[in-house]
Amino acid sequence: MGYYRRMGACWLGSLLALFLGIPICFAQTPSSGGVGAHVTITLPGGVRSETIFVRYVLDEDFGGWLQPREGVSSYLISTVRQGIPADRFRALVYAPGCMIQTIDLPILSSAVPQVSFVCQPLPSVALTGRLIKPVRLDGREVNIQVKYVARWAQRFLGLDERIINDIPVGGTQQVPANGAFALFVPDLSEDPLAGTADPPGEFRILGRDPSSGKIVALIIPITQSLRTRMGGLQILKQYPEAIEFAPCSGPHTALQPRDEFGFTLRPDPSDPCL
């Protein structure tokens, strides 16, 4: 088969899981389906199918995420919710090196809607940084991951503004002992959706345990002019060299500054983790 059939729908789950960036459920292969019971998203040549990101909503329900697969040319997503075909399908689609694409279409009972993901090239921006205050990690090694928080997407998808929609935009990279790292992030200032969004989005940098993959810290820019209100990194066309970042409390652990004896220190008023 030239494509992989992934179908299904999922329902509203924990907001905590959303904050952690953990998919609550994915499209599932159905036991049956009829004409008009799914949407087909076709991929262009040059876009690796395992790198695609799709976040979708059926009518006003929560919707779900597509589970990417390697070596396929299109995806089928079910538009059936609780046994009834949905009237509307909305989605965000992203692939590395491409601009974000939105899909908003009615579900037609007489035909299977087919949408082509068009990769409009998007340049990358170099991001070099150094992780300071390593004592907060209690000797843990961390891998860092960058996600784009699309705050404008709640309105487009018709979701509660408290629901976070984030898109992985950077591969996971291990932070060496000296804390220095260098990676590339998409230049979203050139993206018509992300660059002119209101409310604007931001990059969120996560520290993950190398073994379990669990989030152990939020990695926050020290420089206030680069930092968003929620502790993310502002979207810029160019970043200064060697930006300093600090690990702050993550959802799985309360990282508190401690002295050499393990006693909690009173944080400095300028601490970005406050």
CB 255 within 8 A of CB 215: no
pLDDT above 70: residue 139? yes
Among 95, 116, 137, give the residue marking a domain's end. 116
Amino acid at 51: T
Confidence of residue 253 (pLDDT cuts 50, 70, 90): very low
Q: Would the pTM of this model clear 0.85, i.e. be above it?
A: no
- Confidence (pLDDT) at 9: 34
Both tokens assigned to 227? 């930092």
Amino acid at 245: F
Does a structural domain hold residue 257? no
Domain enclosing residue 59, as ranges: 4-116
Rounded CA gap, 34 and 45, in Å? 29
pLDDT tens profile 206-252: 999 899 989 989 999 999 999 999 899 999 999 999 999 999 865 44
| Pair 85, 143 in one domain | no
At residue 204, the 3 state secondary structure works out as strand
Give, in order, the Cα–Cα distances in Å from 243 to each of 28, 122, 182.
42, 23, 10
Q: Report how far residue 110's alpha carbon sits from residue 105's, in angstroms, rounded to the nearest whole number.
A: 14
Supply angle C-alpha 226, 219, 49, rounded to 5.
Answer: 95
How many independent structural domains does the chain possess?
2
Q: CATH no. for residue 58?
A: 2.60.40
Cβ atoms 249, 217 nearer than 8 A: yes
